[in-house]
Structure 1
Amino acid sequence: GVSYPESLQASAGSCLVVPCTFSYPAGVTTSAGIVAIWYKDYEGQRLLVFHSAAPKDVDPQFGGRAQLLGDPRARNCTLLLRGATPGDSGPYRFRFEIVNGDRWSAVRDVTLSVSEEPERPGVTGAEEQTEGQRSTLECSTPYVCPGGDVVLQWEGYDPRVSQVSGRVQLDTGGVGQRVTLTGSFSWKDHSKKLRCEVSAGSKRASTELVLRVRRTYRWYKDGEAVATGQVLALRAVRRQDHGRYRCEARNALGTRASPPVTLRV
């Protein structure tokens, strides 16, 4: 059997990798070699994308662009396609032939989708943050190119209080990469813009996130809680409003109180 993802995405101009593995019965002898073959539109035009034994027969549109990264002797059929174009979109299928033996084709295709412009990265994590509390924001893209044509990164964060880590998935279960921003934010970060950008070749796409840093305010009159919110408004002031007022601001780090103010009525 043959294993690869169901579908893959790429942006025009960058490369595309199709992770692929295959297997055959234990009793099969492969000492004479294995021929690896990739087709586009196997059920229709059957365009030859790669042929390890007959490279001259490859369709001109794939000439010099398709390369087998995997070693067939290790049952690896991973394909690299450079300079992807929207015209490369479509179904692809792997076939292998045991020299002087049997031959097998995959039972299904892997569908490649190449867009002219890169899609904006996906961002997960809350825009609303609690001050002083560590949180995680994650950015992801389905684009992966080992040659460095695809770069995913966070911008606008303070490296003194935040850390970034990255992870790439490149296996038969799927392809993609993500960067995780972990840190804590203060009131100074309120309304701050964080941006995750993917660059694929010379093209870029980004997703922006505006932070809202949460803290709570509570007002006290003569030691008793009377209101919440950053501003205390007293309308139609009466004699009963006479007293000492103070404000408390609370976040994940603790509570701070303002000096008391006396209101004389």
Structure 2
Amino acid sequence: MDKEGKMVIFCLLLAAMSCPVFTQIWSATVVKSLDALVSSCVVIPCSFTHPEGNVPMSRLRGIWHLLNDRDQCIYHNDDTQVLDSFKGRTRFLGDLGRSNCTLEITSINDWDNGPFCFRIELLATSSSNKFSFVEDCVELRMLHDPVVPELIHPKTAIQDHPYTVTCSVTHTCSTHMPKLTWSRGSADGIIEVHRERHLGYWEVQSTLTFIPEEKDDHSEVTCTSHFHGSKTSSATLTLYVKRKEDYNHIIIPTVVGIGTAVIFGVFCIIMVKKYKTRIAELQNQDGRMWNRLSRLSRRIFSDGPRPSRSDLRPNNVNSKSCADQKISKPRFPSPKSQPKSCNYKEGLDDSDDYMNTAEIYGNL
């Protein structure tokens, strides 16, 4: 490197060390946009740096004004410099000595959309130490309806077991955070947390723990968010309660069913036995009746057709006496000349006697 190059670098380093403008510049960190609920409030987070280093707060003045005209102030130390539409509605929350320029706006109107910019002035110095951060301004998005809370919970609750529901809602007013309330439960079972999610946005989270009962099945649990300015929003869940592990609803119907089946089976067996006994009795009665009718028919119709061979057989008493008899058979016998056989009956007439002896002779 030649001497000229070394001389240029040395001059630049010397200028940087001797001029504070190169060591620290004017800058501001402001959220670009925020949601603002009409009639509620909004807090605009802001921080800044300036080249003067540590300056007593008494020598600093912070101003918030409209982007198009820095003389239209929405906040100023001198209240007479504030626009009439913002008087009493703006409050400086920051600490200028710690480079904090946070602003609060309450009772938000529909036309309070901005953009709003921050300006810092160092008093008792030259006019060059006043700076408006017009490139880092905030614009508000008006919300006419509040944000609906979000519920996080298990799908099913178990009877007589702790059940937890979490309700959360976002907002942009950390000085007047929303109040969350529940439709059931007590304060002892509620835990509330307030935290910043990201720059300018905060979250209120309420956790409810309670023990559901069987009667709570299909009941509703509602979380309501009360915003600053009297606007509210709510979210509701339907509670589904699962009964305890109880098998009575299974055991009792099963026992009743088995008992009914046993009773019905015993009844059927008894009825079958009675039926079989009755059938047997009827069969016996039918047999005796048939025998009686058969004998009666033989008596009544004795003059009818010729009796069968079984009817002509001699009984046991006559069989012995007739067994020893010898029947003489002439070659051409005459019915009237033949002595009466053992089968002869006194009550039969001549024609019947003839027929019976003929049958006997034919069989012999």
Find the partner of 2:180 among 150, 153, 156. 153
Counterpart amino acid of residue 122 in structure 1: E
Provide closer, same or farther for how the CA distance between residues 106 and 261 of structure 1 changes in structure 2, counting only shifts above 3 A: farther
Q: Does structure 1 residue 179 correspond to structure 2 residue 205?
A: yes
Provide closer, same or farther for how the CA distance between residues 68 and 121 of structure 1 changes in structure 2, counting only shifts above 3 A: same
Q: Does structure 1 residue 93 correspond to structure 2 residue 120?
A: no
Find the partner of 1:20 among 46, 64, 71. 46
Q: SS of 1:263's equivalent?
A: helix
Name 1:212's counterpart in structure 2: 240
Q: SS of 2:115's equivalent?
A: strand
Aligned pairs for 1:1-265 (under 5 A) are 1-25=27-51, 28-31=53-56, 33-40=59-66, 42=67, 44=68, 47-52=72-77, 54-99=78-123, 100=125, 101=129, 103=131, 105=133, 107-131=135-159, 132-144=161-173, 146=175, 148=176, 151-159=178-186, 163-169=189-195, 173-186=199-212, 187-200=214-227, 201-215=229-243, 246=251, 261-264=255-258, 265=261
Structure 2 Cα separation of the partners of residues 172 and 210 of structure 1:
32
The answer to whether the 8 A contact 1:15-1:81 is kept is yes
Structure 1 Cα separation of the partners of residues 53 and 172 of structure 2:
37
Count of aligned residue pairs for this structure pair: 224
Q: SS of 1:86's equivalent?
A: coil
Return the structure number with greater helix share: 2
Instruction: State the Cα deviation string for residues 19-50 of structure 1 (Å, max 9, x = none).
Output: 3222335x52524611212133x2x4664211
Structure 1's unaligned 5+ residue stretches are: 221-229, 231-244, 247-257
Counterpart amino acid of residue 114 in structure 1: M
> What is the CA distance between 1:218 and its match in structure 2?
8.5
> What is the CA distance between 1:217 and its match in structure 2?
6.6
> What is the CA distance between 1:68 and its match in structure 2?
0.8
The answer to whether the 8 A contact 1:92-1:111 is kept is yes
Instruction: State the Cα deviation string for residues 111-164 of structure 1 (Å, max 9, x = none).
Output: 323333323223333453344254341221315363x5x54213222228x622
The answer to whether the 8 A contact 1:39-1:92 is kept is yes
Q: SS of 2:147's equivalent?
A: coil
The answer to whether the 8 A contact 1:154-1:179 is kept is no
Counterpart amino acid of residue 190 in structure 1: D
The answer to whether the 8 A contact 2:181-2:225 is kept is no
Report the aligned-residue RMSD: 3.3
Instruction: State the Cα deviation string for residues 84-124 of structure 1 (Å, max 9, x = none).
Output: 11111243222222232353516433332333332322333
Structure 1 Cα separation of the partners of residues 31 and 155 of structure 2:
32
Counterpart amino acid of residue 146 in structure 2: P
Provide closer, same or farther for how the CA distance between residues 144 and 210 of structure 1 changes in structure 2, counting only shifts above 3 A: farther
The answer to whether the 8 A contact 2:182-2:224 is kept is yes
> What is the CA distance between 1:170 and its match in structure 2?
5.8
Counterpart amino acid of residue 255 in structure 2: V
Provide closer, same or farther for how the CA distance between residues 219 and 72 of structure 1 changes in structure 2, counting only shifts above 3 A: same
Counterpart amino acid of residue 194 in structure 1: V
Identity %: 22
> What is the CA distance between 1:79 and its match in structure 2?
0.8
Provide closer, same or farther for how the CA distance between residues 21 and 197 of structure 1 changes in structure 2, counting only shifts above 3 A: same
> What is the CA distance between 1:178 and its match in structure 2?
1.4
Structure 2 Cα separation of the partners of residues 57 and 173 of structure 1:
29
Structure 2 Cα separation of the partners of residues 76 and 96 of structure 1:
11
Return the structure number with greater strand share: 1
Structure 2's unaligned 5+ residue stretches are: 1-26, 262-364
